[in-house]
Amino acid sequence: MGLLKKMRAFFQESSQIRGVWDKPYVWMVMACFIWLLAFGDYFTGKSTLFSDAVSYFDHTFYFIENIKRGVFPLWDSSWNHGAPNDFFLRRIGCYNPIYLLMALLSIVGVSHPVAYLLVHSLYFFLGAFGFYLLTKTVYKDERVAFGSFLLLLFSTVGTRIFDSYMCLVIVPTIWFLYFLTVFLVMPRRLYFTGLCLSFMIAMNTYIPLFFLTIIFAIGLFWIVFFFREVWSAGQRAVNFFISHPGFSGLLAGLVVVSLIPPLAFFLNTLQGAVVLPERHGVSGGAHVLSVDTKLLSWGVMEDLFFTGYFTDFRRFLLALAYVPFLGVVLWAWGVFCQINRRVLLYFSIAVFFILLGTPLAAPLHQFLFKHVFYFKYIRNLHFFLWFILLPLFIFISAEFLSQILLMSFKSVKEKAWAACIAFVTMAVFFLFTLWRGDGVWTTFFAIGATLVFSMWYLFWRQSFKGWILWAVLLVVIVPQAFQVFHYISRNTPRTDIYKNVSLPKFEYVTGITPSASSDNRCGYLYYSASSFDDLCKGVGNLAVSSSLTHTLVAYGRVEPFRGTSQDYVNLELSLTRNTDMAFTAGLKGSLVLSPRDNPVKFEKDSSALSVRHFDTNTLLLRTNFDHEKFLVYTDSVAKGWRAFVDGKRVDLYPANLAYKGVRVPSGQRSVEFRYGNPWWYGFNWLMIVVFNVLFYGVAWAFFRGRRDTASL
């Protein structure tokens, strides 16, 4: 007992220390540092990115390497022999300010993998901090907010940066909800700007339909349960807009303008500019992005059931749901908490997304799929588990923690009952874990630490002042999560995916050899220009591979291609036999220029043709032909490509069904193939500037000492 009194006195004295250690921010930084240590193997290359994250890594640095050279990559010449890059720009959310930070790290010498992981980790930390502010705004309790921050930080929500794109959606969603909450309570320019910015980022991230569904659902249920509060908040917002018409109009205009890129992408896919044969080939819909219900067999409950097979944390993997033990305990103690409107709101939202994310067992998705048009374009419904259900689970844990901390146990009898409940709860968890036989030591530590500190708080809560509670929460939450993260890292498949990402160089000879085998250029088309897909469907493998051996080919004769079955036969024979004949739509009759036995396939710079400039959007050539030629650039043709000869725009023909062709007169000429309109090119650069200015402007105003609310 003497030792216990000394310990109590020590902590009571220590709790009087004033300074940075009394604030949770320094402990939040410490927690983030521990998180980075837990995933250190990814930064050293012992563990590597997995699944969808590999593709996101590739396309991120394809974008960044182009940006570093002053080129906005509207086209990707390295993807399936040329394809519009808009699909992948939408996937990574190319206007997000994190990419300029990655580019800066790359410029100063940080390797691509480390830059990618570090910036995405910081982005997730930013989302966790937003979650802290959101929780603090709702519960008005720094302790509850810090606990929710740790629960989110050390859940598996953040681990999805290693195998998916989840955090690109989760982070702006969290900040949107925070800015919306504080703006409706206390309308300010800063909050409205942050609200608009987070909306703009979310809507330009693949895919915005998840975000819209979450916001619509939360808004609907909020109106149902808090109608009077919503009405009052709406009046405050309207008064703000009336008082600041110019400012509000400017930001609203920026929001509308920011929606142009995703809408343009949707319209381009509607017009058939691209195809995704392997991804959505079974949909049978009129739109290439439409989803067949057969692709929705894996939902939220399947994700949870799959996680249930890994109660042994030593086998834990990416894409498995995990929340630190304290979150589960809070749910167990939540049985004794009050059921208020907030709890009903949270559970209603959770039930909605569980039903929506379980399409085979519940009719909700089928109803929305039939009556709400954009649900025809949502796949991977189990993503709602990560986008909303796990964060909501933690938010409900915060509700229970808030109520528990507000409980007053004055009499010895009340304290005894509370202690008995805590002890029995921990005993049940202990016995269950022991019975399973697969518990790791940190689970038992978490059970014991939670029991000890709950008893401590129950009987000596006056000692929980200052930094002690922050340290206690770290001790209770971190050890088990750290071990789980260790096993996730260790169990991630090791693959050599980290290549020196660089921009494609122009190659006269592609290295492709004519082949009729099943292992061909059309064997797997996840995403492609529709013209190349048409070629793959129309002719055999040998003809396709034969057409791709050289990047630039000059023909002396051109035949019209009208799409008849005989045209496809003639095209296949010409490509296979390497005859000096190109086929193109747009001609009414044959065009004889200077026919030879075989076309001229260029293998290096020469007096007849040389490359002056090449980037992902442009190919500039210098030609000097003896006779007029039909020059074919064996990169896919698509709407948006234009051709210029001596600076004057000329007709660009779809050559050999899939590629770009142009008539080049004899003599010295400058020939240019260019993708994208100048105004659209400039618009994308403008969007990068706007997003970055808004982001750093909000950050500067947010952290510079203008503390408008108690959230700061």
Q: Domains of the chain: which residue ranges?
A: 1-29+411-493, 51-309+324-407+686-703, 528-676
Of residues 635, 611, 634, the one with CA closest to residue 622? 611
State the pLDDT at residue 641: 95
pLDDT given for residue 557 in this prediction: 92
State pTM to two decimals. 0.91
Judge residue 604's burial from the number of C-beta atoms within 10 Å of its C-beta, 0-12 exposed, 13-18 middle, 19 or more buried. Answer: exposed
What is the C-alpha separation between 357 and 214, in angstroms, rounded?
Answer: 12
Q: Is-contact 148 135, C-beta < 8 A?
A: yes
Which sign, positive or negative, has the C-alpha torsion 274, 275, 280, 283? positive
Residue 190 near residue 240 (C-beta atoms within 8 A): no
Contacts 24+ apart (CB under 8 A), 427-430: 429/325, 429/328, 429/329, 429/332
Distance between the two ends of the chain, CA-based, in angstroms? 41
Angstrom distance (rounded) from CA 351 to CA 339: 16
Write the CB contacts of 121 (distance below 8 Å, at least 6 apart in sequence): 32, 35, 36, 39, 158, 161
Nearby residues of 674 by Cβ (< 8 Å), 6 or more positions away: 617, 618, 641, 642, 643, 644
Burial classification of residue 8, based on how many CB atoms lie within 10 Å of its CB (0-12 exposed, 13-18 middle, 19 or more buried): middle
The DSSP line for 309-341 is TT-SGGG--TT-----HHHHHHHHHGGGS---H
Handedness of CA 639, 641, 646, 648 (dihedral sign): positive
> Encoding tokens for residue 148?
């929710």
Which pLDDT score is estimated for 709? Answer: 42
507-511 long-range contacts, CB within 8 A, separation 24+: 507/551, 508/550, 508/551, 508/552, 508/602, 508/603, 508/604, 509/549, 509/550, 509/551, 509/603, 510/548, 510/549, 510/550, 510/551, 510/634
CA 77-596-652 angle, to 5 degrees, is 35
CB 217 within 8 A of CB 352: yes
- DSSP state letters, 499-515: ----PPPP-SB------
The bridge status of strand 629-636 relative to strand 641-645 is: unpaired
| pLDDT score, position 279 | 64
Helix 390-406 crosses helix 142-153 at what angle (to 10 degrees)? 150
Report whether 386 contacts 161 (CB < 8 A). Answer: no
Q: E strands of 78-138, at which residues?
A: 83-84
pLDDT confidence of residue 496: 64
* pLDDT score at 511: 87
pLDDT for the residue 405: 86
Helix axes 441-460, 325-333, angle to 10 degrees: 50
Are 639 and 273 within 8 A, CB to CB?
Answer: yes
Cis peptide leading into 207, omega within 30 of 0? yes
Residue 669: helix, strand or coil by DSSP?
strand
**Which residue positions in the chain have pLDDT lower than 50?**
1, 3-4, 6-7, 10-18, 282-285, 706-712
CB half-sphere exposure, 293, CA atoms < 13 A: 10
What does the block give as tokens for 297? 């067999």
Nearest residue to 634 via CA among 522, 570, 554: 554
